[in-house]
A and B are shown apart, each in its own frame.
Chain A
Amino acid sequence: AQSVTQLDSQVPVFEEAPVELRCNYSSSVSVYLFWYVQYPNQGLQLLLKYLSGSTLVKGINGFEAEFNKSQTSFHLRKPSVHISDTAEYFCAVSSNTGNQFYFGTGTSLTVIP
């Protein structure tokens, strides 16, 4: 089975500053990795995904993430955040041995004007 750890439950950051949201996973098989964003009272929206190939993955809204197999990490980054980026962010892992997704507990990003 796989699991995901998001160590930072809350991350406050000033507008236009860079941000990194951390995600570490554990798995005994090859993984697929995803980041989702959840705005208040809405469902989860896919930000980006890593399936294979280039370890740097670019997503929507200027976000990117880097898959690091040796560190078992998939940290999410944005060079300059906007107020509209305030939301809950979830990292998820799955594998080619099954359909199930495992989600982290989420990181609440608050952008301060």
Chain B
Amino acid sequence: GAGVSQSPRYKVTKRGQDVALRCDPISGHVSLYWYRQALGQGPEFLTYFNYEAQQDKSGLPNDRFSAERPEGSISTLTIQRTEQRDSAMYRCASSLGGGNQPQHFGDGTRLSIL
């Protein structure tokens, strides 16, 4: 489709495992954003890219979280040595770039750490 695509839709894994979450943005969108959303809360900023360059990673909780967008299109958010507190909905959004451009969101990946 033409929207932002995230995979997997659901991920259940044991504590201590590494997980990789994928985001395929809208074609032609310069900026790509990762958010974490807890139940009953708004999206919490994690990091964003313009093209392949990571512009801001100030929202990443700790060094177990990393993200890349090597070719300026698809992005991967990786969480190493997962902990139960990492359980949340992880959302990706893309835009044409700039604060005046609306962000278009994917359906998210629901991550559950057992």
Contacts and interface: CB of A to CB of B under 8 A. Distances in A.
B98 interface: yes
Contact of A100 (B40, B42, B45): B45
Nearest to B48: A99
A99 B102 contact: no
Contact of B55 (A4, A32, A99, A104): A99
B97 A99 contact: yes
Interface residues of A, number: 29
Given A104-B42, A106-B42, A98 B105 contact: no
A90 B42 contact: yes
A95 interface: yes
Interface string B86-114: 00000101010111101111111000000
Contacts of B33: 99, 101
Interface residues of B, number: 28
Interface string A18-58: 00000000000000101010000111111001010000000
Contact of A46 (B35, B104, B108): B104
22 contacts: A32-B100, A34-B102, A43-B106, A44-B43, A44-B91, A44-B93, A51-B100, A90-B42, A90-B43, A94-B99, A95-B99, A97-B99, A98-B99, A99-B48, A99-B55, A99-B56, A99-B97, A100-B99, A101-B103, A102-B45, A103-B44, A106-B41
Given A4-B42, A44-B105, A99-B98, 10 more contacts: A32-B100, A43-B105, A43-B108, A94-B100, A98-B99, A99-B31, A99-B50, A103-B42, A105-B40, A105-B42
